[in-house]
Amino acid sequence: MTAPQPATVAAAPHAAASVATHCPYCALQCAQTLTVTAGERLPVAVAGREFPTNRGGLCQKGWTSAEVLRAADRITAPMIRTADGGFREASWDEALGLVADRVSALQAESGNDAVAVFGGGGLTNEKAYALGKFARLALGTRLIDYNGRFCMSSAAAASNRSLGMDRGLAFPLADLGGADAVLVLGSNMGTTMPPFVQHLAGVRSRGGLVVVDPRATVTAKLTDGGAGIHLAPVPGSDMVVLLALLHIVLAEGMQDAAYLAARVEGLDEVRRSVAQWWPERAEAVTGIPADTLRDVARLLAAASPSREGRGAYLLTGRGVEQMAQGTDCVNAAINLALALGLVGREGSGYGPVTGQGNGQGGREHGQKSDQLPGYRMITDPAARAHVASVWGVDPAVIPGPGVPAVQLLTSLGTPDGPRALLVHGSNVVVSAPNATRVEERLRALDLLVVCDLVPSETAMLADVILPVTQWAEEDGTMTNLEGRIIRRRAAVEAPGEARSELWILGELARRLGCDAVFSEDAETMFDEMARASAGGKADYSGITYARLDAGEELFWPCPASSPGEPAHPGTPRPFLERFPTPSGRARMIAVAHRGPVDEVRHGATTYLVTGRVLQHYQSGAQTRRVAELAEAQPESFVEMHPLLADRLGLAAGDVAILTTARGEASAPVRLTEDIRVDTVFMPFHWAGEGSANRLTNDVTDPTSSMPEFKVTAVHIRAALRDGIREKEGALS
Are 227 and 320 in the same domain?
Answer: yes
Q: Which domain holds residue 338?
A: 153-352
Are 203 and 274 in the same domain?
Answer: yes
Q: How far apart are CA 234 and CA 288, in angstroms?
A: 9
Confirm whether 687 is domain-assigned: yes
Which residue from 398, 374, 375, 366 is spatially nearest to 385, judged by alpha carbons? 398
* Whether the Cβ atoms of residue 363 and residue 377 lie closer than 8 Å to each other: no
The total domain count for the chain is: 4
pLDDT of the residue at 729: 43
Mean pLDDT split into 10-residue runs, the chain, 732 residues:
42 65 96 91 94 96 95 97 96 98 98 98 96 98 95 94 95 97 97 97 98 97 98 97 98 98 98 98 98 98 93 96 96 98 97 90 91 96 98 97 97 97 97 97 98 97 98 97 96 96 98 96 98 97 97 96 94 96 97 96 96 94 95 97 97 97 97 98 96 97 95 94 46 36
Confirm whether 617 is domain-assigned: yes
What's the gap between Cα 661 and its chain centre? 25
pLDDT of the residue at 721: 59
Query: Which residues are CB-neighbours of 47 under 8 A, at least 6 positions away?
Result: 32, 33, 35
pLDDT of the residue at 355: 85
Q: How far apart are CA 219 and CA 198, in angstroms?
A: 12
Are 224 and 300 in the same domain?
Answer: yes
Are 228 and 128 in the same domain?
Answer: no
* Whether the Cβ atoms of residue 320 and residue 329 lie closer than 8 Å to each other: yes
* Whether the Cβ atoms of residue 488 and residue 22 lie closer than 8 Å to each other: yes
End position of a domain, from candidates 308, 327, 352: 352
Helix (H), strand (E), coil (C) string for 496-528: CCCECHHHHHHHHHHHCCCCCCCCCCHHHHHHH
pTM more than 0.85: yes
Confirm whether 585 is domain-assigned: no
Cβ-count burial 62-88 (b if 16+ within 10 Å, e if not): bbbbbbbbbbeebbbbbbbbeeeeebe
Are 674 and 692 in the same domain?
Answer: yes
Are 302 and 395 in the same domain?
Answer: no
Are 206 and 323 in the same domain?
Answer: yes
Which residue from 196, 212, 204, 199 is spatially nearest to 180, judged by alpha carbons? 204
Are 216 and 344 in the same domain?
Answer: yes
* Whether the Cβ atoms of residue 412 and residue 106 lie closer than 8 Å to each other: no
Q: How far apart are CA 611 and CA 647, in angstroms?
A: 24
Are 338 and 382 in the same domain?
Answer: no
